[in-house]
Amino acid sequence: MLFNKITIKKYLFLFILSLPLFYFFYDDNDLFEITKNLEIFHSVYKNIHESYIEKPKSGELIKTAIDAMLNSLDPYTNFIGEDDIEDYRFQTTGLYAGIGGALEKINDKLYITEVYDNSPALENGLVPGSEILSVNDKDISKLSVAEVTNLIKGEAGTSVKIKFIPFRSNTPVEKNITRREIKSQNNVYFTILKNNTGYIRLQSFTERCAEEVKKAVIELKKQNIRSLVLDLRDNPGGLLMEAIQLVNIFIPKDVEVVFTRGRTSNWYKSYRTMENPLDTNIPLAVIINENSASASEIVAGALQDLDRAVIVGSRSYGKGLVQNTIDLPYNTKLKITIAKYYTPSGRCIQALDYSQKDKSGRVLKVPDSLITAFKTKNGRIVYDGAGITPDIKTKSENLSAILLDLNQQNFFFQYAYHYALKRNTIPPPKEFSLTEQDVQEFLDLLKEKKYIYHSDQENLLKEFKFSAENDSIYQEIKKEYEELFNGLGKIQEKLLLKNTPVIKEFLEINIINFYYYSKGKEEYLVHKDNEIKQCIQILNDEKKVKEILTKIESPQKPFNSQKKF
């Protein structure tokens, strides 16, 4: 236990010696509080190691303490331990070393459910529907999906031995597959749609994604597109500089895209476009939704403030906080919130105020009374404090809970598996369509598998019964309770019937995955999407685009004194 008594004291002593470096940031009271609390922490930690009934695990104790401390700040300030470095690398680069496939456990068997184009998995016959039997001679039947995934991942250039039963085969094969750097599948997907409209979907802002988007625009322009849709729905953000470079594709050189303000002057920074643009004139629409966050909001907010694009969809998430990653000892990192970002008009779109919490610890939204108005370059009114509000609002259709349940239990995949077993080919994705008879076969499969949907309401009733069963009042309402409970049980058939059109689409997507893999699914979804269709309609009307980007309305809130335009 020498480490506990000596090493901790050493680090505490070194930290206290370094405190004069902080004089620029803290007054005497702050320094006293820091020193006092570090001494208390050291004393607690030391006494746990010396006296606790069971020998504690040092690493786990410290990790728990660090996580609890950071959780009290905001969800984006995180400690990244040595074991989490690979996941962090994947989030920032979109790269990992592996074979390029996704796994799911279905009926206690492990199947490949998705493969990436040009991946080692696909090249070695590991297609959707292939059953994994072992990895490096290790039986995986009792391992979780995450554990098997970790076995398959490794350093690029090394090999992994996988025993599997190929789809449409009964004979196991064993292959040594060389791991490669795998790029997050289809981070940038692009195609041409109706009326020569280009379409680009960006999944996340990882390294070099702006360059990939630029290449996509160049390819689409070679095919004479007349307008462009940039889809940032469900894009959680990522690297700030990638967002700035993406905006630069459509905005002239030396224009401010975003600026940041932090607690210290070091983070009072302005970020401007650095290069000549690719195209400043092509009619442009950006689609966002409630899951578009951070870098996605920088792009949408900048293009809206500069009146360069029509923003379509639903209000974005509202993450206006900037994180910086600091290297720590022993290959660990600290990702810490250091500033807020502001769009060119001067607005911050942060929706939650993490410094303000109610008595239950719930974070409060920026109050309506503090929301203020700003102007875009053309004088249009926009607001801060609640994400990016689209110029054209669309209503997102929330998936029924029964559909999510069917998907989670892999019923769509199971039907697609048996469908693909019987057919070697199907029409191209945008032409493929199931018949009513096919959909009915799926519904019959659910009956055969004795599928039962337990709704949230049903579960709440069960909880009520459990807590009230011994109460006299329950006996008085028992009959009404049972009638209500039985009524909920009968609702399954009605829900399935009501959601038949969406069930059909889910089945088609899963079947297409067996033949055309991920890109096939993208192609199918793009041609079905109502918000994309609305963008095409808007961009095809030059007068409408101009009207949207120049429309002046009276503000509903007072103007902010810091507005830029």
Q: Which residues are catalytic?
A: 294, 305, 319
Pairing of strands 284-288, 227-231: parallel
103 φ, ψ (degrees, to nearest 5): -120, 150
In the numeric block, the tokens 């096919």 are attached to 438
Dmax (CA) for the chain in angstroms is: 78
**In the structure encoding, which two tokens stand for residue 38, read together?**
């570090």
DSSP 397: P
- Identify whether the C-beta of residue 394 lies closer than 8 Å to the C-beta of residue 314: yes
* Stretch (H or E) spanning 391: none
Pairing of strands 381-383, 159-165: unpaired
* Amino acid at the residue 474: Y
Nearest to 60 by CA among 78, 45, 50: 45
Residues ≥6 apart with Cβ < 8 Å to 441:
415
Cα-Cα-Cα-Cα dihedral of 206, 207, 212, 214, to 10°?
100
DSSP 234: T
The per-type count for the chain, helices as H runs and strands as E runs, is: 19, 23
Residues ≥6 apart with Cβ < 8 Å to 244:
257, 258, 271, 272, 273, 274, 298
Burial of 494 (0-12, 13-18, 19+ CB in 10 A): exposed
In the numeric block, the tokens 């967002």 are attached to 243
Nearest to 426 by CA among 500, 529, 508, 504: 508
* Stretch (H or E) spanning 228: strand 227-231
Q: How far apart are CA 251 and CA 257, in angstroms?
A: 9
Nearest to 545 by CA among 285, 250, 217: 285
Partners of residue 231 on adjacent β-strands: 201, 287
CA distance to 114, 130, 167, per residue, from 170 (Å): 20, 10, 8
- Identify whether the C-beta of residue 288 lies closer than 8 Å to the C-beta of residue 313: yes
* Amino acid at the residue 285: A
**In the structure encoding, which two tokens stand for residue 236, read together?**
């959680």
Nearest to 89 by CA among 298, 320, 335, 294: 335
Q: How far apart are CA 427 and CA 404, in angstroms?
A: 27
Decide: helix, strand or coil at residue 205. Answer: strand
- Identify whether the C-beta of residue 564 lies closer than 8 Å to the C-beta of residue 384: no
Beta carbons within 10 angstroms of residue 553's beta carbon: 8
Q: How far apart are CA 550 and CA 531, in angstroms?
A: 22
**In the structure encoding, which two tokens stand for residue 241, read together?**
């500089």
**In the structure encoding, which two tokens stand for residue 9, read together?**
């004291």
